Structure 1
Amino acid sequence: MIKQILLIDDDPIVNFIHTKVVQHNFPGISVKLFTNGLQALEHIRNHPTYCYLIFLDLNMPIMDGWAFLDAISSEEKETNLQIHIVTSSLDPSDKMRAKSNVNVVSYMVKPLKSSDLDPLIFTE
């Protein structure tokens, strides 16, 4: 199975930093950047057999992180997803809402650090 890491965030500086951190922790795994949830959702729909490690921002144009989570939850196909929220939001209600979503594994505050990823295992 093909493994792929998806960084879904509309901020180019954050994407640059997160790409470096993710590539350091998961060398050799393809990293794809998307600036909104709709682009990422279409990619997943076009490659449903891939195994995805997803780092998802909540506040983005076109399709935000919440809409992405709703859309991915309503998909009929079984897709291997491990979704981690990565946001600047410190709002406790956002954290609670994220934790209540069965597809969300963790909630992290930007920017990602290598130590944030150390405990993560990306398996099929």
Structure 2
Amino acid sequence: MPNQKKVYVIDDDPILQKIMKKMLFNYNPEIEVALFLHGEEAIRQLKADTVLPDLIFLDINMPIMDAWDFIEAYELLNIPKVVIYILSSSIDYRDIDRAKGIDLIKDYLVKPLRKERLIEICELELK
């Protein structure tokens, strides 16, 4: 299916992963959702994938490779860049300001993500 959309959810919380997968499925059952428990898994997959994701939801605080390390490693990959939304429970202004200073990050979202906001993002990014 050439127009199938792909979304990465990078978060160490399996419950959030399940919720995001269900919400994305409810939005469009044809979206392929890839789940990763930390940034390093996602970087490995980005290097291996022949088809890049259309959208990435990225948690900040994760073991092994957090969001900031992921962004650093991602910027070094010689691949087209994908839209990234931070999805975090952190309301620390330092995290929010840091995210605003990174061009790759489109927006900073605080968990839990409302269904309406997810639909807005999908309408915008997965056209």
TM-score scaled by structure 1?
A: 0.89
- For structure 2, which runs of at least 5 residues remain unmatched after alignment? none
- Structure 1 residue 98: Cα displacement: 0.5
SS of 1:45's equivalent?
Answer: helix
Q: Which amino acid aligns with 1:74?
A: L
Q: Partner of 2:76 in structure 1?
A: 74
- Structure 1 residue 123: Cα displacement: 4.1
Is 1:4–1:29's contact at 8 Å kept on the other side of the alignment? yes
Higher relative contact order (CA 8 A, sep 6+): 1
Deviation sequence 1:56-75 (CA, Å, 0-9, x none):
00000010111001111122
Equivalent-residue separation in structure 2 for 1:117 and 1:35 (angstroms) = 20
What is the count of residue pairs matched by the alignment? 123
Q: Which amino acid aligns with 1:44?
A: L
- Structure 1 residue 25: Cα displacement: 2.3
Equivalent-residue separation in structure 1 for 2:36 and 2:47 (angstroms) = 14
- For structure 1, which runs of at least 5 residues remain unmatched after alignment? none
What is the percent sequence identity of the aligned residues?
Answer: 37
Deviation sequence 1:11-60 (CA, Å, 0-9, x none):
11111111111222243110010000000011011115424310000000
Q: 1:48 to 1:70 in 2, by over 3 A?
A: farther
What is the correspondence of 1:18-97 to structure 2 with a 5 Å cutoff? 18-75=20-77, 77-97=78-98
What is the correspondence of 1:94-113 to structure 2 with a 5 Å cutoff? 94-113=95-114
Larger helix share, 1 or 2: 2
Is 1:18–1:111's contact at 8 Å kept on the other side of the alignment? no
Root mean square deviation of aligned Cα:
1.7
Equivalent-residue separation in structure 2 for 1:54 and 1:89 (angstroms) = 18
Equivalent-residue separation in structure 1 for 2:28 and 2:106 (angstroms) = 18
Is 1:85–1:104's contact at 8 Å kept on the other side of the alignment? yes
Q: Which amino acid aligns with 1:114?
A: K
- Structure 1 residue 122: Cα displacement: 2.6
SS of 1:6's equivalent?
Answer: strand
SS of 1:54's equivalent?
Answer: strand
- Structure 1 residue 111: Cα displacement: 1.6
Is 1:87–1:108's contact at 8 Å kept on the other side of the alignment? yes
